[in-house]
Amino acid sequence: MFKGTTEDSRTVGKKLGVANLLEGSVRKQGDRVRIVAELISAADGRELWTETYERELKDIFAVQSEIAKAVTSQLKIKLLGLPPQSDAAPPNENLAAYNRLTAGADFYVSRNNEEGFQKAIEFYNEAIRLDPYYGLAYARLSMAWQLLGQYSLAGDDLTAAYGKARSAARTALSLQPNIPEAHQAMGGILLFVDHHFDEASAEFRQAEALAPADVEPKKAMTYLLFAEGRLEEAEDMARKYLALEPVVTGASLTLGRILIAREKYDEAESCLRKGAELQPKGNRWHMHIANIYLLKGNNAAALQEARLEPAGFWQDYALALAQQAQGDHAATDAALQKFIEKHAAQGPFQVATIYALRKEPDQMFTWLERAYTENDAGMTQLLTAPFIRNYRSDPRFAALCQKLNMPAPQSAETNN
């Protein structure tokens, strides 16, 4: 992210919110690699630890684990034990398959948009072609299909994506049942597709037990707590994994949404702006900030923020939502109808949210029922979504929760 930058360690550390930085260089010559790793203090650039590793290229998996353990030791991290040895390498140490996997992971983690998810799927499929017994590749493939389905697909395409995700998760568990990613992938299916919260929780907890110092299982468990309306627990866990790996912008996104649900709007905005800075082409950062401005009554700023969202579904939604508060009734109706005509199949939950903002509960519940029927991933946010959660006292809300196997809605108090 900061490759080639001229910024000093203090500036970079402040942007990332970290006390120490790990820098490194890799040089390849023939079949050998030379890796220099250096741990430095972000406050003053002081070197805390450095090491040079010279290995044959075939030993790249071992050296990556060696570096991780060395850094962990230096920082004296004690999180239920040291991180386990990496399972990223395929069983037969197929370097070509591993390279495809890591390339896919880069797209999947860092781009946070439809193009990135599709590209990740290509890389994971190629890794599997090169090594059909690579359980981790199947797990990552499952998670990529889940993300693509949740944010970009509808109808038969969504059903097909979830089917592929389920199949890949099952294969990952059959090949490598002791890797956390396999359990995390299956947990996602149980949560977003089957709405089996307890079973999803068990899978996420198993993933965390297998890798207690890994961020990803904690992210998954945080979202489940958020979906269940357990906001204080969700916030606590989100802050813990954000402290572990603050570069992971998904942490900022989830924490921002939790803080919105807890009405900590200023802190939520700060958190989301940090994520938007680290991931300027990522989706939903500015959409959520637009929501904050609407909740605070700053309607002009909401519309301005919506325009900053990258073009596509989420910008269309943010603009349609923000337009509802601008006072021009003809324009608000036109913006809603335009969004429905363009995105009804993909975004019934978002249409319901717009109706909630318009204070039209009958239409809101009609679209929520449609979102449930079409397995819209947004339904996992029923207890926490802005505007919709204002109707928790309506019997129709409780009926939807029962369909989704969600806990019964609490009172309208938001800071629990």
What one-character-per-residue DSSP string does 93-154 give? --HHHHHHHHHHHHHHHHH-SHHHHHHHHHHHHHHHHH-TT-HHHHHHHHHHHHHHHHHH--
Residue where a domain stops, chosen among 55, 76, 97: 76
Q: Is residue 394 included in any domain, yes or no? A: yes
Do residues 415 and 356 both lie within one domain?
Answer: yes
- Residues 131, 250: Cα–Cα separation, whole Å: 29
Q: Is residue 20 included in any domain, yes or no? A: yes
- Residues 185, 164: Cα–Cα separation, whole Å: 12
**Distance, first Cα to last Cα, the chain:** 36
Residue where a domain stops, chosen among 304, 338, 372: 338
Task: Name the phi and psi angles at 398, rounded to 5.
Answer: -60, -35
Write down the pLDDT at residue 190: 97
Write down the pLDDT at residue 69: 58
Write down the pLDDT at residue 205: 95
Do residues 307 and 325 both lie within one domain?
Answer: yes
Q: Is residue 332 included in any domain, yes or no? A: yes
Q: Which of 133, 147, 234 is nearest to 192 (CA)?
A: 147
pTM of the entire predicted model:
0.77
Give me 43's structure tokens.
Answer: 């406050």
pLDDT along the chain (416 residues), means of 10: 59 63 71 74 69 67 60 45 50 81 70 82 94 94 94 90 96 95 97 95 95 86 95 93 70 92 97 89 94 98 97 96 95 97 96 98 98 95 96 96 88 43
- Residues 8, 313: Cα–Cα separation, whole Å: 37
Do residues 333 and 364 both lie within one domain?
Answer: no
Do residues 355 and 288 both lie within one domain?
Answer: no
Do residues 349 and 409 both lie within one domain?
Answer: yes
Write down the pLDDT at residue 196: 95
Write down the pLDDT at residue 396: 97
- Beta strand 20-29 with 47-56: parallel, antiparallel or unpaired? unpaired
Task: Give the domain CATH number at 57.
Answer: 3.40.50.10070
Buried/exposed code over 164-175 (b: 16+ C-beta within 10 A; e: otherwise): bbbebbbbbbeb
Residue 296 is inside which H or E element, if any? helix 285-296
Q: Which of 338, 325, 316 is nearest to 292 (CA)?
A: 325
Could you give the number of structural domains in the chain? 3
DSSP 8-class letter at 193: I
Q: Is residue 238 included in any domain, yes or no? A: no
Write down the pLDDT at residue 84: 43
* Residues ≥6 apart with Cβ < 8 Å to 278: 1, 15, 16, 247, 249, 252
Q: Is residue 371 included in any domain, yes or no? A: yes
Domain that holds residue 289: 283-338
Do residues 328 and 367 both lie within one domain?
Answer: no
